[in-house]
Amino acid sequence: AEHDEFVYHESLVHPALFWSALLSGTASSSPSSSPSSSLRHPPGTAPKSVFIGGGGELATAREVLRHSTISRLVMVDIDPQVIDVCKRFLPEWGGQAVLDHPKFQLVVGDAHKYLMETKETFDVIIMDISDPIEAGPGIALYTQEFYRRAKELLSKPNGVFVTQAGSADFVPHPHAFPEVGRENGDGDASRETTCFAPIMNTLATVFDHAVPYSCPVASFGEDWGFVMAFDGG
């Protein structure tokens, strides 16, 4: 909803970008350097390049572009109608100002295909996509194979991957349990399951660190989860 969309989008974007900036200053000097030598990756030089998968409402891009270090932002979303509707009716979410930004590049297409084929690397990869519902459009963006590919495309040593990760309520909603839906005669509508822990566990098999976090989003009626993943640190 308009009154609290910032909670979701700020939570998705800023921890990852600030962590990338921190990692850019943690690479130690070479062994032959004196203790007073400057770091190979001074703080504040990153992040410069960011990729967004999904994000058609443009608010994720809006938040990324608040960071002065950004020199290139690529967003790949598969649905041009979502982008157009949000541009027209939700301009405060980013709208034309984002689309016209000189650092922003919009690609209408499949984010999975784009990342599998690109040779470009990014300091931060942000996945603002639908939940991994079985047979849904976003399922391929939550696999170990995809996370390994994303890791290959992250800059070193400051690369950070972050994804939305669904409901993070301590007590899952009834729809998280398929057997409840069957008892109630809801059929396929009940097949949604919680994905917060599985996403974190899958990322933990690929990256050195997989950090789960959450925030309450009033219009969702529940806490919402995110997972940030990175190496080193």
- Tokens representing residue 66 in the block: 């608040």
Identify the active-site residue in 77, 123, 128, 169. 128
Q: Please write the tens of the pLDDT for every residue from 14-67.
A: 999 999 999 988 433 333 333 333 233 345 578 999 999 999 999 999 999 999
Distance, in Å, from the CA atom of 228 to the CA atom of 215, rounded to the nearest integer, reads 14
| Alpha helices, H only, the chain | 5-23, 59-64, 80-89, 95-99, 111-117, 144-152, 178-183, 196-204
Per-residue pLDDT at 92: 85
Given a cut of 90, whether residue 135 has pLDDT beyond it is: no
Please give the average per-residue pLDDT across 115-119, as a whole number: 97
Compare 187 and 128 and report the one with higher pLDDT. 128
Displacement of CA 179 from its chain's centroid (Å): 31
Distance, in Å, from the CA atom of 9 to the CA atom of 14, rounded to the nearest integer, reads 8
Backbone angles phi, psi at 201, to 5 degrees: -65, -35
- Clarify whether 231 is annotated catalytic: no
- Mean residue pLDDT of the chain comes to 83
